[in-house]
Structure 1
């Protein structure tokens, strides 16, 4: 075979689509499939045709009411809260350079829980009835979460603490908040204690469009900030001296990420409750699957976090109907073994 004939042979066409793009598209596809399943399945199952007809407004009136009044708000709340918790965990893991960091380690979730039980304790009468509207409960959760996150950030700023010590501040304040939660539940009305326990486990079954709208507006401000800081997150992966040499204000950037993570967590748990482990599992899974720069990982973490909470809520609706089991119970069942896996893996690496 001559060189000319060899040159004329058609060369095999290689795919130019990066693997990360394929993975992101796969995550988005899984998320869309879970969303459709979440709308279609429940106490009364619906076919895909009925679902699409109801969404477009051409279906039966009963189907339209079930989907738009009950299932769609629940789906939206699950997706938005999962996205927020995943991005909060991602910001913390980048700020601390620690794959074990998550919103719960800064006492943010525990602070929100304390805010909720204090609200239920203060505004319940002798008949176990609230003296104010339950719609004020998310505000109590936000105040509690931001209060404890503010204490952690204040301690870090005053002492110039490194990321590991900041985590220890969060663990200590979180333990203090847990003790307060226990005291208020023990001393509070039994009915309100059970309601607090449901919130502490994390659930989206009481989601309303008004709550979804508020959370969407808040995330519309916070999520772009996360992606605007991804370049700084990449610089933070260097050691401190190298990061400073690139012109990065390391401490200021870490504090910004802590504040952003605290606000994202407060926004999510104020409506969805203390759904655990999403902020740990989703960013870690995104890093394993996608690698690369922070922007790609943040997008992957957001998709995975939303999918985790939607899948957890779907699982409790399908397998435990007609009981309303908190979705946080499922995320804990998934997240706790994964957390142990990360610990064991990290131990083998450093052994």
Structure 2
């Protein structure tokens, strides 16, 4: 029996490794397609030559000035949202948990609306640089997440009630956003609508450097916490018996998810359902321990947003349709599927 188990373990590792390789190849193919397709399409050969700086001058300018920042922004934001959702699902032991349930995304949206309200003149033009908008979004996200955490700490609430606090505060933020959009000028409302749907078409290298710097700190921390995530799969008493500080670990994961989400939505807007779908799909695809699932979730999240941005560029050119519209079309039915499946399990 032990020989069979010993033989099956390497086979399982190889199988998971193959799945990771497939996910990485899919992401690489989507990245090349994202760079190659646009108002002037490029072949794979032209894309690769431009990437290494050996292509025609026009191709190199198009790739490095316009398409590469957009593709990288989509991939990084998708990975960040997926890891945030994965951390929340592990912290709450709930497959329905996602960044939006903590009110983080809605808080960011309210921050953007307040920014547009305070810093627009009578002609609806911004009186400060648009570069301040990501800071406003991050501030709103962190403020609402901090409020949820303070409520949870003060009341000693279990993870499920923490989610309910987030839903309630998110609804409050949504109401504020709606009021600002109705009461404000049309120009301001249209600006906010694009951000609320989630889009990466205005990505700049300066934005990417800021986002990459934040993720360079947050992503390694997420993987360092995967061992604790595995322990959280046990019930609270069993997890505590293994020496895990359960409440402290849950708060750490909530804080990590908040920072990852704030970093992503600050630059890409409120791209929805990635933090729900990618971690759940990763669990179904690779199973096993949290580390492997986190890797798969990050790859799937990056692929989802990259593919969504590619779809809207091809389907609606020359219009700039937000990528979040595609993730919502995919994610909403998947969310209903999870709900119905959970209902059948508990019936």
User: Structure 1 length as normaliser, TM-score?
Assistant: 0.95
Larger CA Rg, structure 1 vs 2: 1
Q: Does 1:107 align with 2:99?
A: no
Partner of residue 237 from structure 2, selected from 226, 234, 241: 241
Q: Does 1:128 align with 2:124?
A: yes
Q: Does 1:330 align with 2:323?
A: no
> CA separation in 2, counterparts of 1:59 and 1:22?
33
TM alignment of 1:16-31, pairs within 5 A: 18-31=14-27
- Structure 2 counterpart of 1:4: none
C-alpha displacement at 1:307, in angstroms?
Answer: 0.2
C-alpha displacement at 1:18, in angstroms?
Answer: 2.0
- Structure 1 counterpart of 2:207: 211
1:228-265 deviations in Å (ceiling 9; x for gaps): 10010000010010011011110110000000000000
> CA separation in 2, counterparts of 1:216 and 1:94?
24
Q: How many residues align?
A: 338
Structure 1, unmatched stretches of 5+, are: 1-13
TM alignment of 1:168-317, pairs within 5 A: 168-317=164-313
Structure 2, unmatched stretches of 5+, are: 1-9
> CA separation in 1, counterparts of 2:220 and 2:184?
41
1:39-60 deviations in Å (ceiling 9; x for gaps): 1111110011111111121211
TM alignment of 1:38-49, pairs within 5 A: 38-49=34-45
1:207-233 deviations in Å (ceiling 9; x for gaps): 000000100000000000000100100
> CA separation in 1, counterparts of 2:55 and 2:276?
40
Alignment RMSD (CA, Å): 1.0
Partner of residue 166 from structure 1, selected from 159, 162, 165: 162
> CA separation in 2, counterparts of 1:89 and 1:15?
29
- SS of the residue corresponding to residue 129 of structure 1 reads coil
> CA separation in 1, counterparts of 2:329 and 2:74?
17
> CA separation in 1, counterparts of 2:127 and 2:245?
48
- SS of the residue corresponding to residue 18 of structure 1 reads helix
Q: Does 1:75 align with 2:99?
A: no
- Structure 2 counterpart of 1:342: 338
Partner of residue 60 from structure 1, selected from 52, 56, 60: 56
- SS of the residue corresponding to residue 39 of structure 2 reads coil
C-alpha displacement at 1:15, in angstroms?
Answer: 6.2
1:114-152 deviations in Å (ceiling 9; x for gaps): 000100011111111001010000000000000000000
C-alpha displacement at 1:17, in angstroms?
Answer: 5.5
- SS of the residue corresponding to residue 292 of structure 1 reads coil
- Structure 1 counterpart of 2:88: 92
C-alpha displacement at 1:159, in angstroms?
Answer: 1.0
- Structure 2 counterpart of 1:5: none
1:9-36 deviations in Å (ceiling 9; x for gaps): xxxxx96862111111110010000000
C-alpha displacement at 1:187, in angstroms?
Answer: 1.5
> CA separation in 2, counterparts of 1:261 and 1:179?
23
